Amino acid sequence: MKTKTTNLSGLVLIVLGVAALMHTMILPLFGVEAGLWRLWPLLVAGVGFAFVLTPFASREKRGLGMMFIPGVPIVMVSGLLFVSSMFNWWSSWELFWPLIIIALALGFAAAAIQSRVVWLFIPAIILGANGLVFQFCSLTGWWELWSILWTIEPLSVGLALIFLSMLTKRQGLMTAGLIVTAVAGVGFSIMAMVLSGWTAILGSIMLIVVGGALLLNNVRRQDDYLIEEKTPKEKLADSTYQ
C-alpha cells in the first residue's frame, strides 16, 4: 500500500512539474502565451497515466493489465484536449477523433500482452482496423470510400482469427479465419468490379496486399514442417543401429 501511495504521489508531482515547466519555459519559447488554466487537460492525463502505470507497479498481478483498456484512451483524450486548449484548435476533434478508437485498440493489445489473455487481440485488431480506416477518411474527407471499405469488418475478424491461430496453434481458428477473410475478399472483388475510380483501385490494391500476406504466411507455415537434413552425428547413429 505504501509503495502504491508513493507511486501515485510521484505521478502527481511529475504532472504538476510538467505543467509548471511548460507554462514558464517551453510554451513561451514557441510564442505561445497561455494562462495556466489552459493546462487543465493535464489533470485528465494524470488519471489516464494512473491507469496505465498501475500494471507496471504490480507486475506479478497480471489481471491489472486490464487497466490499459481505459487508461490508453484516456491518455489520448487528454492529448487531444491539451492541443485544443493550448492552441484554441477545437476543430481538431473533427480530424483526429479516430485516434481515440486506435488508442482503445492499443489498450486491448497491451492488456492482452500483460494479462496473457490472447483473446483480447480480437477486439484489438477489429478496433484498430476500423480506427485506421476512420482516420484515413477523416483526414482525406473520402467518406464515400465506405462503399467498399465496409468489408473491413469481416476482413478484420478474419485476420484476428488467423493471428490467434498463429499464437495458439489451433488449426480450427486458421480455417475459420481463412473462410471469413475469403468472404471479405469476395466482397472486395464484387464492389471493385461494380464501382469505378479511386474506390475500385483501392479495393484492388487491398485485395492484392491481403492475398499476398496470406500466401506468405502459408509458405512460412509449410517451411515449419519441412524435414531437416540429419546431422553427421545422427547419420552415424543410424548406421550403427543398421
Residue 208 has pLDDT above 60, yes or no: yes
Cα angle 175-179-180, degrees, rounded to a multiple of 5? 120
User: Do residues 115 and 180 share a domain?
Assistant: no
Location of C-alpha cell 493535464: 42
**pLDDT tens per residue across span 109-122:** 999 999 999 999 99
Predicted confidence band of residue 241 (pLDDT cuts 50, 70, 90) = very low
Residues 166 and 202 in one domain: yes
Q: Among 85, 109, 140, where does a domain finish? A: 140
Report which of 106, 101, 100 is spatially closest to residue 69, judged by C-alpha positions.
106
Query: Domain range spanning residue 80?
Result: 42-140
Cα–Cα distance list, 204 to 12, 147, 158, 175, 218 (Å): 51, 14, 18, 24, 21
Average pLDDT, the chain: 78
pLDDT in the model for residue 145:
80
The answer to whether the pTM exceeds 0.75 is no
φ and ψ of 59, to 5 deg: -65, -30
Kindly give, in sequence order, each residue whose CB lies less than 8 Å from that of residue 225, ignoring residues fewer than 6 positions away: none
Q: Name the band, by pLDDT with cuts 50, 70 and 90, for residue 137.
A: very high
Q: What is the pLDDT of residue 24?
A: 62
Q: Which three cell numbers stand for residue 117?
A: 489473455
Asked, for residue 232, whether it belongs to a domain, the answer is no
Examine the fold and report which residue of 140, 156, 172 is the final residue of a domain before the chain moves on: 140
pLDDT, residue 28, reads 62
Task: For residue 151, give the amino acid letter.
Answer: T
At 89, is the pLDDT very low, low, confident or very high (cuts 50, 70, 90)? confident
Mean pLDDT of 65-76: 95
Q: How far apart are CA 178 and CA 211, in angstroms?
A: 11
Q: Would you say residue 171 lies in a domain?
A: yes
In the predicted model, what is the mean pLDDT of residues 166-180?
87
Residue/partner pairs of 214-222 with CB below 8 Å, 24 or more apart: 214/162, 214/178, 214/181, 217/162, 217/166
Is residue 24 assigned to a domain?
A: no
- Give the three cell numbers for residue 146: 465506405
Question: Average pLDDT in the 128-143 region?
Answer: 93
Residues 131 and 155 in one domain: no
Considering the domain boundaries, does residue 23 fall inside one?
no
User: Model confidence over 2-54: pLDDT tens digits?
Assistant: 555 566 566 666 766 776 666 566 666 655 555 566 778 888 988 998 899 88
Q: Do 148 and 116 belong together in one domain?
A: no
Answer yes or no: do 117 and 156 share one domain: no
Tell me how long the chain is. 242
121 and 51 within one domain: yes
The set of cell numbers assigned to 99 is 485516434
Instruction: Name the nearest CA neighbour of 166 among 212, 226, 218, 130.
Output: 218
Higher pLDDT, 63 or 35: 63
Does residue 17 lie within any of the structural domains? no
Number of separate domains in the chain: 2
- Are 168 and 199 in the same domain? yes
Question: Picking from 55-69, 75-89, 119-133, 176-190, which range would have the lowest pLDDT averaged per residue?
Answer: 176-190
